[in-house]
Amino acid sequence: MGEGWQAVDDYIVGKLLGADDTLAATLANNSAQGLPPIDVSPTQGKMLFLLAQTAGAKRILEVGTLGGYSTIWLARALPEGGQLVTLELDPHHARVARENLERAGLSDKVDIRIGPAAESLATIKGEAPFDFVFIDADKQNNARYVAEAIRLGRPGTTIIVDNVVREGGVLDSKSHDERIIGTRALFDRIAADPRLDATAVQTVGTKKWDGFLLARVL
C-alpha cells in the first residue's frame, strides 16, 4: 500500500503543486548537510500554507524548524509586514534553515530562536498574539507546547500539531515510547481544555500512516 500512497502524493503534487525550485533546493541542502528527512511532505506543506492564508495569519509561531521546509511554506502565507517566529533546539539545523530562508528571500519575515522550545516559549511575553501555531518538534512536550500556544494566542488562533497518529501507535496505552506517551497526553489535555475546540485527521502519503491535530482557541 505504501507505493500507492507515494504514487497518489506524486499525482497530487503534479496536478496541484507543480515544481518548486526553492523548496527542492531546500531539501537538497538539508540532505547535503546531514539533516534527517523528517520535514512535512509537499502536500502537507501546501496545506499549512493554505490554512495559514485562510486564517489571515499575520503572526505565526512554529515549534521545530529543522531546515526550514515547513517554515518556508508558512512564511509564504504571510502578508507584507507579517512575522514568523520559529523555535529550534539544534544550532546546526538552525544554521541550515537560515541558509534556506535566505535563498527563499524570506529572512526578513522569519525569526529563528535557538534553544529548547519550552525555554524559548517561556521568554515570549508582551508580544502581539500569534494567529497560527504549528507544533512539530519533540513529541513528549506537545501538551506543554499547546498550553503555551493558548497563552500566546487569542480567541480564533489556529493550532496544528503534526504526527499525532504514529501508524496507530496513539492507541497503545501501555507504550514506553515517549513520543506516543506524549501524544496521548496531548489528546488528554486537549479533550479536557474548555478553551479549545479540536479534531484530528489521519493521513497517508509519503510520510506513511500518520495524522495531524487541528485546534481552534475559543
Nearer of residues 113 and 216 to ligand SAM, judged by Cβ: 113
From 46, 58, 76, 93, residue interacting with ligand SAM (rule: CB under 6 A): 93
Q: Closest approach of Cβ 180 to ligand SAM, in Å?
A: 16
Residue 70, interface with ligand SAM (CB under 6 A)?
A: yes
The one segment of 105-113, 132-140, 177-185, 202-210 that binds ligand SAM by CB under 6 A: 132-140
Tally Cβ neighbours within 10 Å of residue 169: 17
Residue 182, interface with ligand SAM (CB under 6 A)?
A: no
SS (H, E, C) 151-209: HHCCCCCEEEEECCCCCCHHHCCCCCCHHHHHHHHHHHHHHHCCCEEEEEEEECCCCCC
The one segment of 1-9, 88-96, 176-184, 186-194 that binds ligand SAM by CB under 6 A: 88-96
Contact partners, residue 48, CB within 8 Å, separation at least 6 = 40, 70, 73, 74, 77, 134, 160
From 117, 161, 164, 213, residue interacting with ligand SAM (rule: CB under 6 A): 117
Q: 60 with 132: CB under 8 angstroms? A: yes
The residue whose grid cell reads 508558512 is: 74
Please tell me the distance from the alpha carbon of residue 117 to that of residue 92, in angstroms, as a whole number.
15
From 109, 112, 133, 138, residue interacting with ligand SAM (rule: CB under 6 A): 138
Q: Residue 30: which of 74, 90, 119 has the closest Cα?
A: 90
The one segment of 1-9, 135-143, 148-156, 182-190 that binds ligand SAM by CB under 6 A: 135-143
Which residues bind to ligand SAM, rule: CB under 6 A?
38-40, 64-66, 69-70, 87-90, 93, 116-117, 136-138
